[in-house]
Amino acid sequence: MSFTFQPIRVATGFDEEGTMVLDGEQRLVAVLVRLSDANEVAPGQWYLEAGFGRIDGGSHPTFSNLDLAQDWIGERVAHRSSN
């Protein structure tokens, strides 16, 4: 599955560097925020701030890069589509 990443600032109160994740139909499926290098839990990682549709749920993982985030989102979409 193909996704588009579109940079955006996110008003989290801390880390603002973000990206919107759009599916092949240009629908918003997730918002990721890059945690600052000063973050104590996962410095420099990408955090799933919000998921929509098939990505919505209790899990808010972090990813070391956007490729891994894309893989995780793709697996969630594929898994939910097959159910």
Q: Which residue has the tokens 């940079």?
A: 7
Residues 6 or more apart whose CB falls under 8 angstroms from that of 13 comprise none
Beta pairing partners, 34: 46
pLDDT tens column, 23-69: 999 999 999 999 999 999 899 999 999 999 889 988 899 999 999 99
* Highest-pLDDT range among 7-11, 13-17, 55-59: 7-11
- Residue 45: CB partners within 8 Å, gap ≥ 6? 34, 35, 39, 62, 63, 64
Q: What is the pTM of this model?
A: 0.89
Residue 76 in tokens: 């969630």
Residue 37: the pLDDT is: 92
Task: Say whether pLDDT at 83 is over 60.
Answer: no
